Amino acid sequence: MNKIKLNAAHDHDACIRSALTRAESLCQKRGVRLTRLRKKILELIWQSHSPLGAYDLMDLLQASSDRERVAPPTVYRSLDFLLENDLIHKVHSLNAFVGCNNPLHKHSDALFICSNCGFTDEVHSATIQQAINLSASQNRFSVKSQVLEVLGLCENCR
């Protein structure tokens, strides 16, 4: 797992608490259960602003508790739940997962991924969305989901 340097003004503990509070509230409103395991996996994902793979999460789960290793299908089911409820994004190019900044916003913009340190930022842009919508319309295409992953260098790595 890559360690990253966050902006000095970034309160990472508050970031994690906020993400977990949003998740609990959203799940309650939707009538779905955010089990202890799902919440712990979400917390582990938010502890890093770099994408984490399922096996990284299994290792972190085992290290963070005195429990036996959680089986891969159990972790994948939890990840599926978090994805279905818009609490995380899948970074397809890395087969990994990152927390979602705004689970109420339709996931349609871009993930900017630092190819050096792995820092990933979810970027909302009306311009990007308009370009996708226009292109889909011109091609008589109905978009069901989209993931735009942009690789480059973050501010700290440039």
Spatial contact of 136 and 123, defined as CB atoms under 8 Å apart:
no
Spatial contact of 4 and 119, defined as CB atoms under 8 Å apart:
yes
Tell me: the pLDDT tens digits for 6-40?
A: 555 667 788 899 999 999 999 999 999 999 999 99
Between 87 and 4, name the one with better pLDDT. Answer: 87
Give the closest residue to 84 by CA, choosing from 46, 32, 129, 39: 32
Reported as a pLDDT band with limits 50, 70 and 90, residue 124 is confident
Domain positions in the chain: 12-152
Question: Alpha helix (H) ranges present in 31-87?
Answer: 36-46, 54-64, 72-84
In the prediction, which pLDDT does 92 show? 92
Question: Is a pLDDT exceeding 70 seen at residue 151?
Answer: yes
Tell me: the pLDDT tens digits for 75-92?
A: 999 999 999 999 999 999
Read off the pTM. 0.83
Q: Tell me the mean pLDDT in the region 51-55.
A: 94
In CATH, which of 1.10.10.10, 3.40.50.410, 1.10.580.10, 3.30.2010.10 is domain 12-152? 1.10.10.10
